[in-house]
Amino acid sequence: MPSTKDPARGARRRRALVVAFLALLPAGCMVGPDFKRPDVGLPPEFVAESPGVEATSPPVDLDRWWDRFEDPLLSQFIADAEQGNLGIQSAIAVIESYRAGFGIAESQLYPSLSAGAGYSYIQTNSAQLGGSPVAGAFNAWQYGLSLASWEIDLFGKIRRGIEAARGRFAASVEDWRATLVSLRAEVAQAYLTVRVLQQRRANLASSVALLERQLEIVKARARSGTVGGIDLAEAAGRLALVRAEIPQIDAQIAEQTNGLSVLLGEYPGEVARLMAEPKPIPQPAIDLALGVPADLLLRRADVLAAERRMAAQVAMVGVATAGLYPEVTLFGAVQIFSDDFSGLGSISNLTYGLGPRISWNFFNGGLTESQIKQAEAAAKQAEIAYRQIVLQAVSQVETAAGNVGSARRSLDELDDATTDAKRATSLASRQYEAGTIDLSRFIRFQETLLDLEDAQAQAEGFYAQNLVELYRSLGGGWEGDRLPDASEGALPSPTSGEAADGPSTPATPPSSAPVALAEPTP
């Protein structure tokens, strides 16, 4: 009795089963641990409390902190550095490299199809045909598609590799942010250093003018015979010493402006021209509310970069763990083969083959187990590095906050002392002209005033520079920046196998769960 089955229906059923099988394979389990941000035991609040710095919440807005110095030239220099600094450009190039690496890792999820065509003229012999009669030479024409060996991600080896690549990619973005934070701080530090040196030079120039007038008075008295040569030599020597300090200050100004030019990615010259006119040292009168460390330190790009690297290393544990399990790969090809060119259009010359291959390296002398242990050790090292960076971050904030408070107190003391010294020196000048005090005592008043003015200029710079360092240690300034185009897609998605509280939500308090290096289970 003839069969009533429809061959075409059977073929469609087989194709449907194959498609369903292929669709389900990538949805297999993922071996290895999932990343969790470790609990680093941050203190509830900062220790340092001083005038102008309070440990309160919510934290201060750190966006564009440099504008709070109300110095247009400083803001211009920072904007120029963002565009021209070679370190920033290098960081963006690194992002592009890691983004490409992420794309390479992601491509492993998909099959690799290639098309080809060819011709050959073939002559065989009886040895090749196992002693059969030798056929004549013939043409071989073919074209078609071939599927290279495609690994089905049953146990998450490829997806864990994608997680690792994404972690390195995201870390490179955070490195760019960290570079940007440091660059802005370094530009501000160099700018403030120049302004401090200019103020110190102005103080020296004022002292020179005063000492020159004093020397003229001494010369006049020497000519009249009221003072001797000792007073004249003392006045001239003091003037020469102060004058000799000015070229040294000029050399330091040139060095700092040249270094600032490098930060801006420019050749020296233009920065020196723009800063030739001395201006007061910027003194932003603001109170900083530090907030709790958990809120602040999650802003820091270097902390986030260390976290992403740790996530990448944890994912590599899964990559190594997948080596304990079998690999399933698919291969196949579809070709039209003919010994005549005209036969390339005939479906009867179609050849194809498709099939899975299963391989399991169940014994390799402990290689896979050693690779897992190596990956776990690397993940542990990354966790330790993360904890170290967080510890350093807390220390830097504490130090900077303490320095700001100390600088403010020092500046207040010097302001009062300098005001008193100016009054005393003015009085001493009148007394010397009246002949009621000798030259040596008058010079001591001048030296005290010069020292105080120099210390005051340095204290103003120390206060401003430590404010910059505090902003840097808090990791502020990048929140409003547009990420470079190369960073598109760097942030992890909740479906990637990583914790959903990753760097895309830096204000979220850290999870209390440690990095879990669980036993591999499919």
pLDDT in tens, 300-337: 899 999 999 999 999 999 999 999 999 999 989 999 98
From residue 203, give the alpha-carbon distance in Å to each of 101, 257, 426, 447, 451: 57, 20, 16, 12, 10
Residue 479's pLDDT is 61
Residue 184's pLDDT is 94
Q: pLDDT tens across 421-468, in order?
A: 888 888 887 887 777 777 677 777 777 888 888 888 888 899 999 989
Q: pLDDT tens across 213-241, in order?
A: 878 877 877 887 776 778 788 888 888 98
Q: Which residue has the higher pLDDT, 134 or 506?
A: 134
Residue 300's pLDDT is 87
DSSP classification of residue 53: E
Q: Which residues contact 295 (CB under 8 A, 6 or more apart)?
A: 57, 58, 59, 507
**Cα 396 to chain center, whole Å?**
17
Query: From CA 44, how far away is CA 321, in angstroms rounded?
Result: 38
Residue 514's pLDDT is 31
Query: From CA 170, how far away is CA 94, in angstroms rounded?
Result: 11
pLDDT classification of 502: cutoffs 50, 70, 90: very low
9 has pLDDT over 60:
no
pLDDT classification of 170: cutoffs 50, 70, 90: very high
Q: Which residues of 97-112 are buried (b: 16+ CB within 10 A; e: fewer)?
A: ebbebbeebbebeeee
Q: Which residue has the higher pLDDT, 190 or 232?
A: 190
Q: pLDDT tens across 344-375, in order?
A: 888 888 898 888 899 999 899 999 999 999 99
Q: pLDDT tens across 252-263, in order?
A: 999 999 999 999
- Structural domains of the chain ordered from first start: 26-109+154-325+367-496 (1.20.1600.10), 114-152+327-359 (2.20.200.10)
Residue 338's pLDDT is 87
Query: From CA 508, how far away is CA 512, in angstroms rounded?
Result: 12
pLDDT classification of 478: cutoffs 50, 70, 90: low
Residue 291's pLDDT is 57
Report angle CA 57, 60, 65 to the nearest 5 degrees: 170
Query: From CA 159, how far away is CA 507, in angstroms rounded?
Result: 28
End-to-end CA separation in angstroms for the chain = 50
**Cα 330 to chain center, whole Å?**
41
Residue 522's pLDDT is 39
Q: HSE-up of 283 (CA within 13 Å, CB side)? A: 17
Residue 270's pLDDT is 94
For 84, the token pair is 């021209």
Q: pLDDT tens across 283-297, in order?
A: 886 665 555 566 667
Query: From CA 121, how far away is CA 132, in angstroms rounded?
Result: 20
Report angle CA 158, 111, 500 to the nearest 5 degrees: 35
Backbone φ, ψ for residue 437 (5° rounding): -130, 155
C-beta separation of 490 from 504 below 8 A: no
Residue 321's pLDDT is 95
148 has pLDDT over 70:
yes
Sign of CA dihedral 266, 272, 277, 278: positive
- Give pTM, 2 decimals: 0.79
Mean per-residue pLDDT, 109-113:
89
Strands 113-122 and 138-152: antiparallel
For residue 4, the SS3 value is coil
Mean per-residue pLDDT, 258-284:
93
Q: pLDDT tens across 16-33, in order?
A: 544 444 444 445 588 999
Residue 518's pLDDT is 33
